[in-house]
């Protein structure tokens, strides 16, 4: 399988990195250094090579180096899915001040939308902030699932944001004193179409991912198989009811629930309420009831299965950003993780405070030490 990897990464006024430049080869990347050195910031910069707000979901202006005027940039040269490519992104300073939306340049030309980035690479991540994924709010799990979908279907991000936008306009229409019936019906029609396409894409991903998990089942693996399903009124019917019928049904339900929704001030039913339900398959236990370590292992297993799926579907594996993952694993699991990322044929970026944790990576990685916004090879 062709490997997609970063050859260079240059950051300018990106958080605590005023001017950082990394030269890499196709091997994995290990970043070690003390707390606060700027390791996660580097992973975050890499995550901006995919559409969206990156692995911290940070507002773009907070990414700019404090006291640095507000502009920032990330530049990378990639051995991408379509060959060598230069990608630049960030907030630019113009004569009118610093822009608020990040621009994306590909080989020097401005891309129409950040979605174009997905032609060159897919990037997925696991961060300590995701440790509570199974016990936290359903919204986090939906977002996690949507990112997994986005890695195989670049139009999914737009689909979800359009759904949310149309839903907000429906909520607004419902809150008005004089409701424009025709306008509201047209909005609900649109909303139903988007809702079914969002739910179908998620449903399909859960099916594909389940297939990969079952296919690669290895009882000896330290990363237990996850049993994943979707819960939600639309999702439960997909596969049993034709998409066009489902659209009609949901549209009718929206019409019938106008009074209730208006009283609640929001749309009470739809794919914005659905959930990704995860079980520890060998133990038949809900993920939320598993130990912290088991939950981490489940999540790693899910992410690796997804990376395998992307590789099989597209011929190239995603770039994996694994923030502080090694520290949570015992030695056996660490070794198993390193071996598994090797077989995926991806460039994995890993961080940790302790260099010794990565000793088994040996000559399989670029080893970098991060110190106060500086990096040593």
Ligand X SMILES: Nc1ncnc2c1ncn2[C@@H]1O[C@H](COP(=O)(O)OP(=O)(O)O)[C@@H](O)[C@H]1O
Contact residues for ligand X, defined by CB under 6 A: 15-16, 33, 35-41, 62, 64-66, 370
Check residue 130 and report its DSSP letter.
G
Q: Over the range 217-241, which residues count as b (16 or more CB within 10 Å of their CB) and which as e?
A: eeeeebbbbbbbebebbbbebbeee
- Between 63 and 254, whose beta carbon lies closer to ligand X? 63
Check residue 203 and report its DSSP letter.
H
The alpha carbon of 63 is separated from its chain's Cα centroid by a whole number of angstroms, namely: 18
The closest residue (CB) to Mg ion is 40
- Between 39 and 147, whose beta carbon lies closer to Mg ion? 39
From ligand X, Mg ion, none, interface partner of 182 (C-beta below 5 to 8 A by class): none
Contacts of 53 (CB under 8 A, 6+ apart): 59, 60
- Between 72 and 134, whose beta carbon lies closer to ligand X? 72
CB of 351 to Mg ion, least distance (A): 6
What is the chain's length?
A: 377
Query: Considering Cα of 195, then 200, then 201, then 205, what sign does the dihedral take?
Result: positive
CB of 348 to ligand X, least distance (A): 16
From Mg ion, ligand X, none, interface partner of 65 (C-beta below 5 to 8 A by class): ligand X
CB of 367 to ligand X, least distance (A): 15
Cα-Cα-Cα-Cα torsion 147, 17, 341, 334, nearest 10 degrees, comes to -110
From ligand X, Mg ion, none, interface partner of 37 (C-beta below 5 to 8 A by class): ligand X
From Mg ion, ligand X, none, interface partner of 141 (C-beta below 5 to 8 A by class): none
From Mg ion, ligand X, none, interface partner of 270 (C-beta below 5 to 8 A by class): none
- Between 38 and 311, whose beta carbon lies closer to Mg ion? 38
Q: How far is CA 265 from CA 171, 253, 259, 261, 278, in A?
A: 7, 16, 10, 6, 30
- Between 62 and 178, whose beta carbon lies closer to ligand X? 62
Give contact residues for Mg ion (rule: CB under 5 A).
39-40
CB of 2 to ligand X, least distance (A): 30
Query: Considering Cα of 295, then 296, then 300, then 301, what sign does the dihedral take?
Result: negative
């Amino acid at each position: 399988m062709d490997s997609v990897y970063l050859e260079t990464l240059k950051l300018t006024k990106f958080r605590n990195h005023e001017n950082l430049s990394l030269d890499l080869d196709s091997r994995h990347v290990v970043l070690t250094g003390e707390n606060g050195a700027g390791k996660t910031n580097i992973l975050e910069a890499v995550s901006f090579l995919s559409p969206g707000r990156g692995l911290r979901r940070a507002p773009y202006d907070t990414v700019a180096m404090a006291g640095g005027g507000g502009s920032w940039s990330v530049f990378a040269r990639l051995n991408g899915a379509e060959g060598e490519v230069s990608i630049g992104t960030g907030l630019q300073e113009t004569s009118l001040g610093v822009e608020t939306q990040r621009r994306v340049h590909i080989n020097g030309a401005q891309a129409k939308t950040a979605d174009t980035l997905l032609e060159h690479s897919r990037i997925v991540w696991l961060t300590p902030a995701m440790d509570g994924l199974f016990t936290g709010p359903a919204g986090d799990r939906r977002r996690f699932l949507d990112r997994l979908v986005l890695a195989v279907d670049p139009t999914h991000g737009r689909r979800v944001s359009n759904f949310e936008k149309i839903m907000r306009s429906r909520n607004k229409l419902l809150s008005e004193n004089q409701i424009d019936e025709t306008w509201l019906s047209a909005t609900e029609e649109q909303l139903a179409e988007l809702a079914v396409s969002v739910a179908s894409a998620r449903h399909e991903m859960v099916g594909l991912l389940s297939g990969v998990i079952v296919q690669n089942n290895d009882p000896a693996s330290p990363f237990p198989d996850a049993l994943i399903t979707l819960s939600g009124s639309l999702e439960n019917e997909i596969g049993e009811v034709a998409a066009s019928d489902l659209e009609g049904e949901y549209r009718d339900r929206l019409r019938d629930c106008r009074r209730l929704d208006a009283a609640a001030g929001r749309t009470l039913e739809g794919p914005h309420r659905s959930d990704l339900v995860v079980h520890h398959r060998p133990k038949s236990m809900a993920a939320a009831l598993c130990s912290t370590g088991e939950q981490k292992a489940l999540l790693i297993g899910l992410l690796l299965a997804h990376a395998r799926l992307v590789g099989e579907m597209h011929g190239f594996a995603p770039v994996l950003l694994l923030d502080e993952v090694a520290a949570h694993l015992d030695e056996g699991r660490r070794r198993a993780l390193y071996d598994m990322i090797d077989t995926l044929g991806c460039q994995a970026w890993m961080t940790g405070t302790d260099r010794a944790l990565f000793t088994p990576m040996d000559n399989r990685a670029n080893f970098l030490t991060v110190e106060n916004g500086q990096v040593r090879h």
